[in-house]
Amino acid sequence: MAEPVLAISELRKTFGALKATDGVSLDLRPGEIHALIGPNGAGKTTLINQIAGTLKPDAGSIRFDGADIGGLGVAERARRGLGRTFQVSSLAPEFSALRNVMLAVQSVQGSSFRFFRPVMRDRSLTEPAMAALERVGLGARAHLPASELSHGERRQIEIAIALALGSKAFLLDEPMAGMGPEGSKRLTEFLDGLRAEAPILLVEHDMNAVFALADRITVLDYGRVIATGTADEIRINPEVRRAYLGDEA
Amino acid sequence: MASRETLLNIGLALLLLVLPVIANYSGEPFYVTLATRIAILSLAAVGLNLALGLGGLVSFGHAAFFGIGGYAAGILATHAFSGDPLIFGLPGTKQMLIIWIVAIAAGGLAALLIGLITLRTSGVYFIMITLAFAQMIFYFAISWPAYGGEDGLPIYVRNAFPGVNTLKPLSYFLVCYALLAVGLVLFKLFQDSRFGAALQAARQNEVRVASVGIPPYRIRLVAFVISGMFTAVAGALFADLNRFVSPSMLSWQMSGELIVLIILGGVGRLFGPVAGAALFVLLEHWLGGITERWQFFLGLILLGVVLFARGGLIGLIAGRARHG
Ligand SMILES: Nc1ncnc2c1ncn2[C@@H]1O[C@H](COP(=O)(O)OP(=O)(O)OP(=O)(O)O)[C@@H](O)[C@H]1O
Ligand SMILES: [Mg+2]
């Protein structure tokens, strides 16, 4: 079996008395989509935040691309290839979609300490950014301010940013939310192809998408992993049905 | 096709150049001095506009850099006058070019030290701690007798610039105007550059900037240092205009004035500081001639801007700012 790209082990995080992450271990292997599901408040976003570096775990380790990244800040983790999207999209609202993505391109190219060349006339920035937006189907909306785009479109910008970063792993927090059935279907197809570029840790409530895409599924409940397995194994797992899926699956 | 804001900016730049020339040749040198004040305060506020307008860093301590630039001019001129060596046996100087370099270096260093600490905070804490640093420097200047203490430091003869008779009001105005022009060009370049993109994005959403791999702290620190340099060189010009530097240049009122200029003119707009400084100085002149309480009316105008014209004068005339 291939060496995992991302491996977290025994991660713990408490908020006061609440165990938001309670000894979670999981990994992400090359080429796979690993879905992370669980009821509201189970601790999925909290886990993503610890992997991306926006939250510090109380204990446990995170290895990415062969190195322990537990001590690194958000920016350094992103530079090493962790591309994340936010459950509530997080963009520079005054900037156009294009300028939001160009920020990722300029980061990949190295220095932001360049003071004289106008970015909008710099094709080494605009072209890769435009290409990333076109891949997610947002080319025609590239010049609108992020604040004027729909929820679904802002989601897509975030994915374009992760693409432009040349991410080695994607952490996607509910990318389907606010998409509508047509959009979800297109995004499902897109993510299906994307796993060949880099593996995806996919947090998602849309079970159709999860069962269509996931090579493996991990189920969280009250901060603990209650099951890990293939889609079929998870579908018939009695504890998962009780805690989360109900009779829907 | 030039945008409305570009046309407005060109108009303002021409007005600020042409009116003092006309005033000078119609025997009204006082208005030349007024225009020089506008140019210098504009430059100081262009510096603050980098931090505050582009970076969202509401520094309530920029008088520190303004005053440091002023004292650089005053101290160097004093030593040149007396012939006493400054430090390490180095002499003072009357050359503005050297004075400006010293002012920029001193202002930049102070901004680096202050920024290293203050930029770890944000919001109200940032405002208060920048104020605290500026007050420390203010009280230091007051209690340091070697350079005038509370009474300030006179510059007996305005410092020199090669090939220019700086004693003539119009000539000195042109020197200041040229420096303001350089400041505005640099601001525009920075604004449109990669650095400016990261800085403006960090103002809008710090987490976003970090999440693409750019550390916001470092971007802001560099912006704060450059900002301090601009304001310091303006301080040196101001000292030479008044031929006097005193702790009042370091006061919190001065810091507040710079913020007011930017809000009046338009936060983050290229010519916001120019429009704001012109309005401020002209109000001070006209209203100040009518009533001691002119700042009451300034307050009313400021209130009007904050409530009804968020983009300041520039925003009122040219509309909302657009980012490519
Ligand atoms: N910063 C915080 N401080 C205190 N409690 C928090 C914080 N962040 C999250 N929590 C709590 O931790 C638990 C896990 O939250 P989290 O957002 O990770 O859930 P989630 O699985 O992503 O839920 P959802 O499906 O609704 O997005 C919740 O009970 C939440 O209220
Ligand atoms: Mg969540």
Burial class of residue A94, CB neighbours in 10 A (0-12, 13-18, 19+): buried
For residue B260, what is the domain's CATH number? 1.10.3470
Mean pLDDT of the A205-222 span: 94
pTM of this structure = 0.94
CA B23 / ligand 2 centre spacing (Å)? 66
User: Taking a contact as any Cβ pair under 8 Å apart, which residues of chain B between 142 and 181 contact chain A?
Assistant: none
What is the full DSSP assignment across chain A?
-PPPSEEEEEEEEEETTEEEEEEEEEEE-TT-EEEEE-STTSSHHHHHHHHHTSS--SEEEEEETTEE-TT--HHHHHHTTEEEE-SS----TTSBHHHHHHHHHHHHTS-S---SS-GGG-HHHHHHHHHHHHHTT-GGGTTSBGGGS-HHHHHHHHHHHHHHTT-SEEEEESTTTT-HHHHHHHHHHHHHHHTTTS-EEEE-S-HHHHHHH-SEEEEEETTEEEEEE-HHHHHH-HHHIIIIITT--
Q: Is residue B151 part of a domain?
A: yes
Q: What is the pLDDT of residue A242?
A: 84
Cβ contact, residue pair B207, A90, below 8 Å: yes
Selected from 3.40.50.720, 3.20.19.10, 3.40.50.300, 1.20.1250.20, the CATH number assigned to the domain covering A1-81+167-249 reads: 3.40.50.300
The residue whose CA is least distant from atom 8 of ligand 1 is: A46
User: If you measure CA to CA, which chain B residue comes closest to A84?
Assistant: B211
The answer as to whether B135 is a domain residue is yes
Q: Residues B207-228: what's their mean pLDDT?
A: 97
Query: What does the pLDDT average to over A46-66?
Result: 97
Average pLDDT over residues A89-110: 96
* pLDDT value at A243 more than 60: yes
Quick check: is B58 in a domain? Answer: yes
Residues of B (55-94) whose Cβ lies below 8 Å from A: none
Residue A149 has pLDDT above 80, yes or no: yes
Task: Over range A82-86, report the average pLDDT.
Answer: 96
Please give the average per-residue pLDDT across B164-188, as a whole number: 97
Q: Say if residue A248's pLDDT is above 60.
A: no
According to the model, what pLDDT value does residue B295 have?
85
CA of A21 to the centre of ligand 1 (A): 10
Residue located nearest, by CA, to atom 3 of ligand 1? A15
Q: What is the pLDDT of residue A249?
A: 46
Q: Are strands A33-37 and A200-203 parallel, antiparallel or unpaired?
A: parallel
Q: Is residue B324 part of a domain?
A: no
Average predicted confidence (pLDDT) for chain A: 94
Per-residue pLDDT, A60: 97
End-to-end CA gap in chain B:
15
Is a pLDDT exceeding 60 seen at residue B1?
A: no
What percentage of chain B carries pLDDT values higher than 90?
85
As a whole number, mean pLDDT of residues B288-299 equals 86
* Ligand 2 ion local residues (Cβ < 5 A): A 44-45, 87
Question: What's the rounded Cα separation, in Å, for the pair A37 and A244?
Answer: 8
Domain extent for B80 = 4-318
Q: Which of A11, A46, A56 to mutate to test the pocket of ligand 1 (most atoms within 8 A of CB)?
A: A46
Q: Please, where in chain A does CATH 3.40.50.300 lie?
A: 1-81+167-249
